[in-house]
């Protein structure tokens, strides 16, 4: 019966059979993901109950947003979940890059130095930092930047990190997910070890973790292992597919207050900022986030298993413990990358008829192809894939509000490669 359904949806017998073969070997992995999701679901539920979320919290405000009980209560819920002193959760934070820029610009001052001990940051942060010169960058305000690349095996270069930390080092930024790189993503325990090392060298340094794509994939978060700030986007994991916009910064009270004063105005901070009718989506998305993230993680493992069978390099493998929802597949040619993304688009509930092609994108230094026929524009907790068109021609797959839809999306992407004769091992 299920085979007939997939045939009606354009999946050929060889691609369907490959998917079923891979799926049959994943039951134990999926049980562990469900265990983690259950723990995180109870964590979120307890935070909602402990902070006495009421129906009034779902209503929102306009104008200045004074005394917005739902907004303030939601920030307390985030602080409870992340075990931090405070949190800033706002629709005025437009995306993950904005949240990160806000955290950096509000907690660094002229003469300070920013250090990345995990190599090059995500492409869109290059202009924020000033690696690529741009108006308004940290560099324009006299904030310097230094990075220490990872070792060849993807581990931290502790010797050179120690050397890089100096009197000017004010803030250390750790990117949890791989971004557009083929390195492994970092687990919370790994991040904790790095934070402990950094603090042993300079105890007063502030450590920020870019938590994008990692929330709820483990039972603890970077704030549980010493991070002073964790930062993310609500159209990724914590929004659960409901949040239409927004970002969060959770951490030490001083760090969060600095960010609030930068987001609004000195003297105003968290007191203003209307919630404009999005609070119900924020709360409901957060409630669903642990199970939605679990679906996305299952999808990533399924994709890894498929493309391992087809002879491609995948990071991480289908057997490795995962630390985020991102799956990279090194497809080795632009044609395969484009076909994969076009297959993902064809599997989408919205704009399935559209045909994505590579093009210039703000914040990126090469042409990028993006596939995302989503209910929320740009939401990468929904089924999506994107890739820079450059060596080694790796595509980055993520999301899936439900596993059945994500499964179909992966099969549809594989079908696109199969139809175009781009799979040497599936004839």
User: What is the pLDDT averaged over residues 142-163?
Assistant: 96
Q: Terminus-to-terminus CA distance in the chain, angstroms?
A: 24
The domain containing residue 378 runs over which residues?
A: 2-40+290-419
What percent of the chain has a predicted confidence (pLDDT) above 70?
99
Q: Does 281 lie in the same domain as 161? A: yes
Which of 286, 305, 336 is at the close of a domain? 286
Whole-model pTM: value is 0.95
Judged against a pLDDT cut of 70, whether residue 184 lies above it is answered with yes
Are residues 149 and 53 part of one domain?
yes
147 plus 205 within the same structural domain: yes
Average pLDDT for 135-162: 96
Please state the three-class secondary structure of 390-411 as a single string: CCCCEEEEECCCCHHHHHHHHH
Is the Cβ–Cβ distance between 400 and 296 less than 8 Å?
yes
| Segment 367-424, tens digit of pLDDT | 999 999 999 999 999 999 999 999 999 999 999 999 999 999 999 999 999 999 999 8
Is position 413 within any domain?
yes
One domain, residues 116 and 234? yes
In tens, the pLDDT along 197-211 reads: 999 999 999 999 999
CA angle 29, 34, 39 (to 5 degrees): 130
Do residues 266 and 119 both lie within one domain?
yes
Say yes or no to pLDDT of 180 above 80: no
Q: Can you tell me the distance from the alpha carbon of 257 to that of 161, in angstroms, rounded to the nearest whole number? A: 29
Q: CA 304, CA 306: separation in Å to the nearest integer?
A: 6
Tokens describing residue 281: 């989506």
374-389 in b/e burial notation, b at 16+ Cβ within 10 A? bebeebbbbbbbbbbe
Look at residue 171 and tell me whether its pLDDT is greater than 80. yes
Task: Mark whether 267 and 334 lie in a shared domain.
Answer: no
DSSP letter (8 states) at residue 148: -
pLDDT score of 426 more than 90: no
Q: What is the pLDDT of residues 285-337, one digit of tens each?
A: 999 999 999 999 999 999 999 999 999 999 999 999 999 999 999 999 999 99
Q: Would you say residue 426 lies in a domain?
A: no
pLDDT for res 1: 58
Q: Are residues 150 and 270 in the same domain?
A: yes
What is the structure's pLDDT at 191?
98
Q: Is the torsion defined by CA of 83, 382, 307, 13 positive or negative?
A: positive
Ramachandran angles phi, psi of 24, nearest 5°: -60, -25
Domain final residue pick, 286, 302, 336: 286
Same domain, 159 and 228: yes
Nearest 5°: the CA angle 285, 82, 30 is 60
Examine the domain organization and report whether 146 and 210 are in the same domain: yes
CATH code, domain carrying 144: 3.40.640.10
| 389 occurs within a structural domain | yes
Rama region for 273: left / alpha / beta (φ>0; ψ in -120 to 50; rest): left
Which tokens hold the place of 421? Answer: 């004769």
Stretch (H or E) spanning 199:
helix 188-201
Instruction: Tell me, yes or no, whether 315 and 213 share the same domain.
Output: no
Calculate mean pLDDT across residues 12-16: 95
User: Which strands make up the sheet holding 144-147, listed edge to edge?
Assistant: 86-90, 247-251, 229-233, 206-210, 169-175, 113-116, 144-147
pLDDT at 425 over 90: no
Q: Is there a single domain that holds both residue 20 and residue 139? A: no
How many other CB atoms are there within 10 angstroms of residue 94's CB atom?
15
Domain count, the chain: 2
Higher pLDDT, 170 or 181: 170
pLDDT tens column, 335-353: 999 999 999 999 999 999 9
Q: What is the pLDDT of residue 424?
A: 84
Residues 187, 106 share a domain: yes
**Of 261, 286, 311, which residue constitutes the final position of a domain?**
286
pLDDT at position 181 is: 77
CATH code of the domain containing 300:
3.90.1150.60
Q: Which two tokens stand for residue 24?
A: 């049959």
Q: Cα separation of 156 and 29, whole Å?
A: 27
Yes or no: say if 102 and 259 are a contact pair by the CB < 8 Å rule: yes
**Mean pLDDT, residues 344-366 taken together:** 90
Q: How far apart are CA 128 and CA 115, in angstroms?
A: 14
What is the pLDDT of the chain when averaged over all its residues?
96
Residue 424 lies in a domain: no
Q: How many CB atoms lie within 10 A of CB 49?
A: 11
What pLDDT is stored for residue 427 in this prediction?
60
């Amino acid at each position: 019966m299920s085979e007939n359904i997939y045939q009606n949806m354009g999946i050929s017998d060889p691609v369907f059979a490959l998917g079923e073969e891979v799926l049959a070997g994943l039951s134990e992995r999926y049980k562990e993901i469900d265990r983690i999701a259950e723990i995180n679901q109870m964590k979120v539920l307890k935070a909602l109950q402990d902070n006495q979320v009421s129906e009034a919290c779902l209503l929102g405000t306009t104008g200045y947003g004074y005394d917005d009980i739902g907004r303030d209560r939601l920030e307390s819920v985030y602080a409870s979940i992340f075990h931090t002193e405070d949190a800033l959760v706002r629709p005025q934070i437009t995306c993950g890059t904005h949240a990160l820029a806000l955290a950096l610009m509000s907690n660094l001052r002229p003469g300070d130095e920013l250090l990345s001990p995990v190599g090059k940051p995500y492409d869109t942060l290059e202009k924020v930092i000033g690696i690529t010169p741009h108006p308004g960058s940290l560099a324009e305000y006299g904030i310097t930047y230094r990075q220490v690349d990872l070792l060849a095996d993807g581990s931290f270069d502790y010797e050179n990190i120690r050397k890089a930390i100096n009197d000017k080092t004010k803030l250390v930024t750790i990117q949890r997910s791989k971004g557009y790189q083929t390195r492994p993503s970092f687990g919370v325990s790994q991040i904790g070890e790095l934070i402990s090392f950094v603090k042993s060298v300079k105890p007063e340094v502030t450590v920020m973790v870019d938590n994008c794509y990692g929330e709820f994939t483990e039972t603890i978060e970077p704030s549980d292992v010493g991070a002073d700030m964790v930062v993310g986007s609500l159209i990724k994991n914590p929004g659960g597919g409901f949040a239409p916009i927004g970002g969060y910064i959770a951490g030490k009270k001083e760090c969060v207050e600095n960010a609030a004063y930068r987001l609004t105005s000195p003297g105003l901070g968290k007191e203003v900022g209307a919630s404009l009718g999005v609070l119900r989506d924020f709360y409901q998305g957060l409630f669903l986030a642990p199970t939605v993230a679990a679906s996305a993680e299952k999808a990533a493992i399924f994709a890894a298993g498929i493309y391992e069978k087809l002879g491609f390099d995948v990071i991480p493998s289908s057997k490795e413990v995962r630390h985020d929802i991102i799956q990279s597949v090194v497809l080795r040619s632009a044609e395969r990358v484009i076909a994969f993304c076009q297959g993902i688009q064809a599997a989408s509930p919205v704009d399935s008829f559209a045909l994505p092609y590579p093009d210039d994108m703000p914040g990126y230094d090469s042409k990028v192809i993006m596939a995302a026929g989503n209910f929320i524009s740009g939401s990468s907790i929904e089924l999506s894939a994107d890739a820079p068109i450059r060596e080694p021609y790796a595509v980055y797959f993520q999301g899936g509000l439900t596993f059945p839809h994500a499964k179909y999306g992966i099969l549809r992407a594989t079908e696109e490669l199969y139809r175009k004769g781009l799979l040497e091992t599936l004839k």
